[in-house]
Amino acid sequence: MEEASLKFIGVGLAMLGATIGAGFGLGRVFSAWLEGIARNPSADAKLSKIGFIAFAGTELVLLLGFVVSIMTLYK
């Protein structure tokens, strides 16, 4: 195989892992968030802060995977 085709395969695999990982991570974050609010509705404000931070962290992992993939593609 040529080097360029191997680069495209690597970028595709990296993005596949990033999107699957982010999907599972977001599912876990929101399911735990809703379960915590359902169990203790008075802790909604505190859980909302933690939930948004976890959401941002999960999305950061996805964006970092995207940036690494693009950098690999154009290097």
Q: For residue 68, give its domain range.
A: 25-75
pLDDT value of residue 1: 77
In a domain, 44, yes or no: yes
State how many domains the chain has. Answer: 1
In a domain, 15, yes or no: no
pLDDT value of residue 27: 92
In a domain, 16, yes or no: no
3-state helix, strand and coil shares in percent for the chain, rounded to the nearest 5: 95, 0, 5
pLDDT value of residue 42: 93
In a domain, 41, yes or no: yes
pLDDT in tens, 4-62: 888 888 888 888 888 888 889 899 999 999 999 999 999 889 999 998 999 999 899 88
In a domain, 20, yes or no: no
In a domain, 73, yes or no: yes
